[in-house]
Amino acid sequence: MPGRVRVFIASSIDGFIAGPDDDLSWLPEPSDDDHGFGEFFADVGALLMGRRTYEVLEGFEGPWPYEARPVLVATHRPIAPSQPTIRAVEGDIASLVAQAREAAGEGDVY
């Protein structure tokens, strides 16, 4: 049975995830309480994200946060991934989810 398609997100009351200029300084440091993200992420087999999210993440300092899990980036343009586990995918939402589920194996899609 395929895993679930799940989301784990924090946003401000007005619905934004990032501040101006993609500021995410409000996110907790790894040593702070992760609010359950570690437990959530333990079940994740693959990630599906849009190109803008991918570009912001690639701009962060430090190691790639998603370890060796497959990351599928929904985009119509080529990308230059920093990790061999990252690849561009295209299609409608049903196709994108199907591709992510296949990449996740028994795990969940985040």
Average pLDDT over residues 31-51: 88
Domain count, the chain: 1
The whole-number pLDDT of residue 100 equals: 98
Is residue 60 a part of any domain in this protein? yes
> Is 3 domain-assigned?
no
Please write the tens of the pLDDT for every residue from 11-28: 777 777 777 887 777 665
Q: Is residue 9 part of a domain?
A: no
Which CATH number characterizes residue 60's domain?
Answer: 3.40.430.10
Residue 100 sits in which domain range? Answer: 20-109
Residue 5 lies in a domain: no
Q: Is residue 76 over pLDDT 90?
A: yes
Amino acid identity for residue 101 in this structure: R
Nearest to 45 by CA among 75, 78, 71: 71
Residue 59 lies in a domain: yes
55, part of any domain: yes
Pairing state between β 71-74 and 44-50: parallel
Question: Cα–Cα distance between 10 and 16 in angstroms, integer?
Answer: 9
pTM: 0.84
Q: What is the pLDDT of residue 11?
A: 75
In a domain, 80, yes or no: yes
Out of 8-12, 99-103, 106-110, least confident range: 8-12
pLDDT for position 51: 95
Residue 2 lies in a domain: no
